Amino acid sequence: METPADPFYRQLPKVELHAHLNGSVSSETMEQLIARKPQLNIEHSMTAIRSGQRRTLDECFQVFKVIHQLVDSEEDILMVAKAVIQEFAADGVKYLELRSTPREETKTGLSKRRYVETVIEAIHQCKQEGVDIDVRFLVAIDRRNGTKVAMETVKLAEDFMLSSNGVVVGLDLSGDPTVGHGRDLLPALQKARNCGLKLALHLSEIPSQKEESELLLDLPPDRIGHGTFLHPEVGGSDTLVDKVCKQKIPIELCLTSNVTGQTVPSYDQHHFKYWYTRGHPCVLCTDDKGVFCTDLSQEYQLAASTFRLSQEDVWDLSQQAIHCSFAPEPVKQQLEQKWAKLRPVCLMSDTDEPSTPPLFYMDVPSRPALTSVLEKENG
């Protein structure tokens, strides 16, 4: 990260609900992985997208393929998962839901079951070591792998939901949105819902998914990932919006990820504003903090500066995320107590709060319109 967030956003207790494990690997951990596998000839520039750079969705997915080459054994997964958890905790995240697609690697003997077991082991080790964060896991279906593999993944997730003492709480649907159609995955998703798994579905990431979004919203999902093209102003429809609003389905919003991946033209045009101004449940997330060179504190500060949110607004946004999580009710109550305890420490008095939020990311090329407005306002 090139510009750390201001202290308020660092101290703010936060909830992260949309974090892909392999995409969240920091530059420091990535350097260790690269050093351990020099034969791959992978450079760090191949595993991250720097601030101000733009990539197509396809180019973003190519980055993940490179990372998978570096993370292909139980030892790698354990190291990466522990580091990611510790980094989120250091950034003030108090509750984290990691997600990842179980992979098997013949050359290292890694099985899908061992993949999940190793992530769970990393979560347990961090807890034993006193890392101040509650971590849960979502087993992910990669949509490109089709119906059969999706059903196998649901069975795996169900097994771990019953045996992981509450660590595995749900199922994620993700992967390249240009591949396949959600209708082929409906039986697997319905099976997951029937067995008690919560559903967090990537939905409407690209403009051509209106029909698929209709089908997936009928399940319905418990949370929506991105939802970039749901509303009519960007090619969605009032019908889709009505379904989302009627069921009050929270939306996981990842500002830097969307702008860097060019599904949103600029920060000030991000669909956060559309949903937030309607009072709809919104959760700020990182998506892939390592790949996109961000963290959750930066995402909160970015939202505050772009959309003129006060510290009270930011606090409420953070606290609301607790109720959008898949945590058991007793855990949600514990988190509420933690927020109540930290509130007077984090929030300044009304007289101390700056009249406008800090101007953050004003040098980002993708925000010329907003920059121009703010320059005029500030003389």
Is the separation of the CB atoms in 29 and 48 below 8 Å? no
Cα–chain-centroid distance for residue 48?
Answer: 16
The pLDDT tens digits of the residues spanning 79-111 come to: 999 999 999 999 999 999 999 999 999 999 999
Catalytic status, residue 205:
yes
Calculate mean pLDDT across residues 16-35: 95
Residue from 105, 205, 252, 299 carrying the catalytic annotation: 205
Calculate mean pLDDT across residues 285-306: 96
Instruction: Classify each residue of 97-114 as buried b or exposed e, where b means 16 or more C-beta atoms within 10 Å of its C-beta.
Output: bbbbbbeebeeeebebeb
Please name the residue that has the structure tokens 């510009």.
Answer: 3
pLDDT for the residue numbered 356: 40
7-377 is classed CATH 3.90.1150.10: no
The pLDDT tens digits of the residues spanning 320-371 come to: 999 999 999 999 999 999 999 999 999 964 334 443 433 333 333 333 333 3
Looking from the CA of 287 toward its CB, the CA atoms found within 13 Å total 27
* Measured CA distances, 38 to 73, 126, 349, 378 (Å): 16, 29, 53, 50
Calculate mean pLDDT across residues 58-67: 78
pLDDT for the residue numbered 51: 66
Please give the model's pTM, rounded to 2 decimal places: 0.90
155-164 contact pairs (CB < 8 A, 24+): 156/102, 156/112, 156/113, 156/116, 157/192, 157/197, 158/192, 158/195, 158/196, 158/197, 160/116, 160/120, 161/195, 161/196, 161/197, 164/120, 164/137
pLDDT for the residue numbered 354: 41
